[in-house]
A and B are shown apart, each in its own frame.
Chain A
Amino acid sequence: MTTARRRAAICSAVMAGLLAAPAAAEMRPTLSFGGMTGLIDMPTGESQNDGVLSITSAHFGPISRTTLSFQITPRLSGSFRYAGTRDWNRVVPFPLETYYDRSFDLRYQLLNEGTYVPGVVIGLQDIIGTGQMSGEYIAATKTFGDKLKVTAGLGWGRLGSYEPIGAIGTRPDFDYGLGGTVRTGQWFKGDFAPFAGIEYQINDKLGFKAEYSSDDYVTEAGERQTFERKSPFNFGLEYQVNGVLRVGAYYMYGSELGLSAQFALDPRRSPTGGLTYGGPRPLKDRAAGADWSTEWVSDRGRQSTLRDSIARDLRADGMTLESISFAASAVELRVRTPQRENGPQMLGRAARVLAAQLPASVETFRIVPVWNGVPLSQVVMQRSDLEALDHAPNQDALMRSRTEILAVSGATPEGALMGEGLYPRFGWGVSPYVRTSLFDPEDPLRADFGLRLSARYDIAPGLVLSGSVTKKVIGNLDASDRVSNSVLPHVRSDGNIYDREGDPALETLTMAWYAKPGENLYSRVTVGYLERMFGGISGELLWKRVDSPFALGVELNYVQQRDFDQMLGFQDYKVFTGHVSGYYSFGNGYVAQLDVGRYLAGDIGATLAIDREFANGWKVGAFATMTDVSYEDFGEGSFDKGIRIQIPFNWLLGRPSEKAYAPTIRPITRDGGARLSVDGRLYDSVRGYQQGRLDDQWGRFWR
């Protein structure tokens, strides 16, 4: 039996969920048409597993909904939805045949299900959009045995529109204006109506759902007559294709057929079942009769031989030796590591290389991870601890407790041997790219596919000349002829002109200089074509202690808007933009960032961003920017906000990769609150090899 088949068999078993023993089988919470945890069109009193990110695409009759949901904490989840209703102009005039609408929901698990208590969720639907989907609910769900779940609840707003049984005051009208503002005044006001449903697990793969819906579709079915709502009952069959995909077919409201596809990604369960590539080189113990003499230290020839063999072994593990300095009982290794690879795994593998190569007298390993020529910390470990803990239970926690992560000097130690052939050094690559445009009412999903040629020239440690050129292969981004109506300088809202005219495009061409001016200080200066719309100069200074969850940064930029063709020319608009940034890592992967300063359009304000980052590199976050631009001047959406996601390919593939799927999704991109997009910002890279982040990821030290 080949190992490839072994791997394949493990994969398929994982996806089938057949190896879940000894844990008992459970009915996993499924998703509704609206993309939140629920039945068909109604919510339930359950939540997804912590961290689950899902995309649901659901369609019935004239209605299509695509929803991105994230279980933010074990109890709190959020959903961002894009819905289209066709035949909108059937009886009431409307300029377009399809009405598109964005909405955002929050739901909170008030009670977890117990032996006698049902799970209870309180939810707010469409809290900042136009209010078309607006509704609130309380839903309770109880599981009976391992096959049946029963849900009952009360809904307000849209979810209280069919056969209400009571009312709390009257629901105030809401003038949504430009959208984007929160409608607290309506919550749990007006008529309320009951809803209910069941979910029955027929077998491992197949589930049945039935519900009584309290949504009357007043606008869609009544006023606009896009479909006929004949009955409050919905029925559906859902099939779990694998660990990620679930599909369903439905009979809706006594008149329409429906289909749905649910993609649910659980950061705890990678599609490949985990890391499927091979183990590290075995840790070499010093033999009992080893030569403990220290004469080798004065032998410069022996040292350069050692450096070369260590550099070779590090290269095999994807790392680059920057420098190494030898003493009789200690070495300091400065090493460049792959950016997206797990830090502790790289440190562990570097330590194995040192243990395999170095004479017995060396007891202390100081490993200094280096990023763009800048040392980030020194990780100090004892060789005898490595030897003692190899094969020991709980070895990762024990090793961490005996490892120090300390501040490091920017200067290479005197007498260090430098890695050979590193400077100057040229590298290049070609990779595919995808650029999309979402939510244009005329065509909500447009995309370009093309190739990106990137090159990098490392001139000296920290001094990098790099650039990238893109060439579209196929796509329809150039079909957008929307003219920006923004009253602000068009710093972002002319994006479609850049798409149309920049083919091919000089995406970036910069000279960057990274340095470490003080023990806890890091700096960057970047000059050139910084991003596709702006060029100029960008400078950044970051203060970050190796042992502190707090960091402070300053960034100052003077930039000029580039020509639409993205060649060498510039337009007239120039701006001085910059921010003071505070960063705080709360632990458990939650990181907050507050930027205060002047944005690209010259507006002044602040951005708050909160991200949840897993040890495997998954990241899901949200941000919002308020500036002195009025909601009216900002235009549709009122202020800049969005969601950002990062899913590393090494998690998807189960093997090393430097790529990630990392979209930022904005309901709408306008000119207010826009920041320069420059490569090489310091915080994330510096933090990656310091206390906190290394602690979170330490489980892979021995991998």
Chain B
Amino acid sequence: MTMRLAPLGLVVAAALLSGCGLGQRALAPAAGMLGGSGQASTPAMPKSGPGTEVTLSFRGFKFPMRELERDGNVVTYVAADGAQMELRDGILIATRGFGTDLMSSSQPGLAELVRGAAHKRSDFYLDGTDTMLRRDFDCTVAAGDGGEGPAGTRHIRQKCSSPDGYITNDYWLRGGRIVQSSQWVSDYAGYAGFVAP
């Protein structure tokens, strides 16, 4: 019998190699061979302008993101590869391009956070099947002990629990503005640290 059957193992191996482990320049030809058109316009990172330094703490490395768009109090930041993060008054509300993305979330406003009010939080993730997953948290807010934050800042710690587990977000404020934070992104990306330059 005859059919078109590329050995699956090879395909998977090629995808793993091309998607992971090689740099982006190395990826392009491999993706082309496998039919990757690369056809998705992505706004580029501005060459200069305000930005933030992001650390994905699970692996302990850093990359810069710059401001792409400001819509009221929501700022969309973009990295060199086009991945985006949306922060409202410094609080992460969405990502695009970080694996299982945080597509949207209900987060307290900055004023609510500063006031220390208990609140509910819902995160909406896109899983590998392109289906939306919702995770609901109950959160409390308390003053922190300063932790690893910069001197002369006020430390606020948000603890959220869900049936799946809990997360702890830290915010350091100066002059009513978040200047540094460590915030939960997703099961895949872990925590992200943000430092305003």
Given the known interface contacts A19-B58, A433-B4, the answer about A278 and B78 at a Cβ–Cβ threshold of 8 Å is yes
Q: Does A20 lie at the interface of the complex (its beta carbon under 8 Å from any beta carbon of B)? A: yes
Q: Does A270 lie at the interface of the complex (its beta carbon under 8 Å from any beta carbon of B)? A: yes
Are B130 and A657 in contact, with the CB atoms below 8 A?
Answer: no
Q: Does B175 lie at the interface of the complex (its beta carbon under 8 Å from any beta carbon of A)? A: no
Q: Does A474 lie at the interface of the complex (its beta carbon under 8 Å from any beta carbon of B)? A: no
* Contact digits for A274-312, partner B, Cβ 8 Å, 1 yes 0 no: 111111111101000000000000000000000000000
Are B1 and A438 in contact, with the CB atoms below 8 A?
Answer: yes
* Contact digits for A1-29, partner B, Cβ 8 Å, 1 yes 0 no: 11111111111111100111111100000
**What's the nearest-Cβ distance from chain B to residue A91, in Å?**
32
Given the known interface contacts A23-B165, A342-B130, the answer about A272 and B19 at a Cβ–Cβ threshold of 8 Å is yes
Q: Which A residues touch B80, using CB under 8 A?
A: 2-3
Q: Does A190 lie at the interface of the complex (its beta carbon under 8 Å from any beta carbon of B)? A: no
Are A663 and B5 in contact, with the CB atoms below 8 A?
Answer: yes
Q: Whole-angstrom distance between the alpha carbons of A55 and B7 in the complex?
A: 11
Given the known interface contacts A396-B104, A439-B1, the answer about A655 and B58 at a Cβ–Cβ threshold of 8 Å is no
Q: Which residue of A lies closest to B79 (CB)?
A: A3
Are A19 and B36 in contact, with the CB atoms below 8 A?
Answer: no
Residue among A267, A274, A279, A435 having the largest count of chain B Cβ atoms under 10 Å: A279
Are B42 and A278 in contact, with the CB atoms below 8 A?
Answer: yes
Q: Does A395 lie at the interface of the complex (its beta carbon under 8 Å from any beta carbon of B)? A: yes
Are B131 and A615 in contact, with the CB atoms below 8 A?
Answer: yes
In the complex, identify which listed stretch (A174-182, A222-230, A561-569, A695-703) lies at the interface while the others stay far away.
Answer: A695-703
Q: Give the size category of B's interface with A.
A: 35 or more
Q: Whole-angstrom distance between the alpha carbons of A642 and B62 in the complex?
A: 50
Q: Does B100 lie at the interface of the complex (its beta carbon under 8 Å from any beta carbon of A)? A: yes
In the complex, identify which listed stretch (B27-35, B111-119, B138-146, B148-156) lies at the interface while the others stay far away.
Answer: B27-35
Given the known interface contacts A3-B80, A652-B12, A653-B34, the answer about A703 and B96 at a Cβ–Cβ threshold of 8 Å is yes
Q: Which A residues touch B122, using CB under 8 A?
A: 393-394
Q: Which B residues touch A655, using CB under 8 A?
A: 19, 31, 36, 38, 40
Q: Which A residues touch B104, using CB under 8 A?
A: 391-396, 702
Q: Does A618 lie at the interface of the complex (its beta carbon under 8 Å from any beta carbon of B)? A: yes
**Which of A272, A281, A391, A498 touches B86 (beta carbons < 8 Å)?**
A391
Are A272 and B103 in contact, with the CB atoms below 8 A?
Answer: no
* Contact digits for A610-653, partner B, Cβ 8 Å, 1 yes 0 no: 00001110100000000000000000000000000001011111
Q: Which residue of B lies closest to A314 (CB)?
A: B41
* Contact digits for B10-38, partner A, Cβ 8 Å, 1 yes 0 no: 01100110111111110100010111111
Q: Whole-angstrom distance between the alpha carbons of A2 and B80 in the complex?
A: 8
Are B97 and A277 in contact, with the CB atoms below 8 A?
Answer: yes
Residue among A272, A278, A318, A447 having the largest count of chain B Cβ atoms under 10 Å: A278
Are A653 and B31 in contact, with the CB atoms below 8 A?
Answer: yes
**Which of A278, A342, A498 touches B83 (beta carbons < 8 Å)?**
A278
Q: Which B residues touch A696, using CB under 8 A?
A: 131
Are B34 and A649 in contact, with the CB atoms below 8 A?
Answer: yes
Q: Does A479 lie at the interface of the complex (its beta carbon under 8 Å from any beta carbon of B)? A: no
Q: Which residue of A lies closest to B62 (CB)?
A: A1
Q: Which residue of A lies closest to B124 (CB)?
A: A394
Q: Which residue of B lies closest to A22 (CB)?
A: B165
In the complex, identify which listed stretch (A40-48, A105-113, A231-239, A665-673) lies at the interface while the others stay far away.
Answer: A665-673
Q: Does A453 lie at the interface of the complex (its beta carbon under 8 Å from any beta carbon of B)? A: no
Q: Whole-angstrom distance between the alpha carbons of A7 and B82 in the complex?
A: 11
Q: How many residues of A contact B (CB 8 A)?
A: 108
Are B126 and A274 in contact, with the CB atoms below 8 A?
Answer: yes
Which residues of chain B in 34-93 are interfacial with respect to chain A, using CB atoms and an 8 Å cutoff? 34-43, 56, 58-59, 61-63, 68-69, 71, 74, 76, 78-84, 86, 88, 93
Q: Does A101 lie at the interface of the complex (its beta carbon under 8 Å from any beta carbon of B)? A: no
Are B42 and A7 in contact, with the CB atoms below 8 A?
Answer: no
Are B16 and A242 in contact, with the CB atoms below 8 A?
Answer: yes
Are B189 and A277 in contact, with the CB atoms below 8 A?
Answer: no
Given the known interface contacts A274-B101, A436-B2, the answer about A4 and B35 at a Cβ–Cβ threshold of 8 Å is no
Are B36 and A649 in contact, with the CB atoms below 8 A?
Answer: yes
Given the known interface contacts A19-B189, A396-B103, A434-B6, the answer about A318 and B12 at a Cβ–Cβ threshold of 8 Å is no
**Which of B35, B78, B134, B162 touches A649 (beta carbons < 8 Å)?**
B35
**What's the nearest-Cβ distance from chain A to residue B129, in Å?**
4
**Which of B15, B61, B76 touches A271 (beta carbons < 8 Å)?**
B15
Are A391 and B71 in contact, with the CB atoms below 8 A?
Answer: yes
Are A281 and B43 in contact, with the CB atoms below 8 A?
Answer: yes
Q: Does A413 lie at the interface of the complex (its beta carbon under 8 Å from any beta carbon of B)? A: no
Q: Does A96 lie at the interface of the complex (its beta carbon under 8 Å from any beta carbon of B)? A: no
Given the known interface contacts A3-B79, A277-B42, A278-B96, the answer about A615 and B129 at a Cβ–Cβ threshold of 8 Å is yes
Which residues of chain A in 427-450 are interfacial with respect to chain B, using CB atoms and an 8 Å cutoff? 431-440, 447
Are B96 and A279 in contact, with the CB atoms below 8 A?
Answer: yes
Are B15 and A653 in contact, with the CB atoms below 8 A?
Answer: yes
Which residues of chain A in 581-615 are interfacial with respect to chain B, using CB atoms and an 8 Å cutoff? 614-615
Q: Which A residues touch B24, using CB under 8 A?
A: 2-4, 7
Q: Whole-angstrom distance between the alpha carbons of A440 and B2 in the complex?
A: 10
Q: Whole-angstrom distance between the alpha carbons of A666 and B78 in the complex?
A: 48
Q: Which A residues touch B132, using CB under 8 A?
A: 396-397, 699
**Which of A274, A338, A669 touches B1 (beta carbons < 8 Å)?**
A669
Are B56 and A6 in contact, with the CB atoms below 8 A?
Answer: yes
Are B96 and A438 in contact, with the CB atoms below 8 A?
Answer: no
Which residues of chain A in 90-121 are interfacial with respect to chain B, using CB atoms and an 8 Å cutoff? none
Are B71 and A653 in contact, with the CB atoms below 8 A?
Answer: no
Q: Does A220 lie at the interface of the complex (its beta carbon under 8 Å from any beta carbon of B)? A: no
Q: Which A residues touch B63, using CB under 8 A?
A: 1-3, 6
Are A395 and B103 in contact, with the CB atoms below 8 A?
Answer: yes
Are B106 and A393 in contact, with the CB atoms below 8 A?
Answer: yes
**Which of B42, B88, B127 touches A268 (beta carbons < 8 Å)?**
B127
**Which of A15, A281, A392, A666 touches B16 (beta carbons < 8 Å)?**
A15
Residue among B3, B23, B71 having the largest count of chain A Cβ atoms under 10 Å: B3
Q: Whole-angstrom distance between the alpha carbons of A269 and B71 in the complex?
A: 33
Q: Does B179 lie at the interface of the complex (its beta carbon under 8 Å from any beta carbon of A)? A: no
Q: Which A residues touch B83, using CB under 8 A?
A: 3, 6, 276, 278-279
Q: Whole-angstrom distance between the alpha carbons of A642 and B23 in the complex?
A: 40
**Which of A5, A14, A338 touches B99 (beta carbons < 8 Å)?**
A14
Are B79 and A9 in contact, with the CB atoms below 8 A?
Answer: no
Q: Which residue of A lies closest to B184 (CB)?
A: A22
Q: Whole-angstrom distance between the alpha carbons of A653 and B41 in the complex?
A: 17
Are B15 and A21 in contact, with the CB atoms below 8 A?
Answer: no
Q: Whole-angstrom distance between the alpha carbons of A277 and B19 in the complex?
A: 11
Q: Does A662 lie at the interface of the complex (its beta carbon under 8 Å from any beta carbon of B)? A: yes
**What's the nearest-Cβ distance from chain A to residue B72, in Å?**
8
Q: Which B residues touch A496, using CB under 8 A?
A: 2
Q: Whole-angstrom distance between the alpha carbons of A447 and B100 in the complex?
A: 36
**What's the nearest-Cβ distance from chain A to residue B117, in Å?**
17
**What's the nearest-Cβ distance from chain B to residue A301, in Å?**
26
Are B129 and A267 in contact, with the CB atoms below 8 A?
Answer: yes
Q: Which B residues touch A13, using CB under 8 A?
A: 58-59, 188, 190
- Identify 11 residue pairs between A and B in the complex whose beta-carbon atoms are under 8 Å apart, listed by A's number: A3-B80, A21-B187, A22-B166, A55-B8, A263-B8, A278-B78, A437-B1, A615-B130, A616-B130, A618-B129, A700-B126
Query: Interface of A with B (CB < 8 Å)?
Result: 1-15, 18-24, 51, 55, 242, 244, 261, 263, 265-283, 285, 313, 316-318, 338, 342, 390-397, 431-440, 447, 477, 495-496, 498-499, 614-616, 618, 647, 649-659, 661-666, 668-669, 696-697, 699-700, 702-703
Known: A268-B127, A395-B103. 9 other contacts (CB 8 A): A7-B24, A13-B58, A263-B12, A274-B127, A342-B130, A391-B74, A394-B122, A614-B131, A655-B19
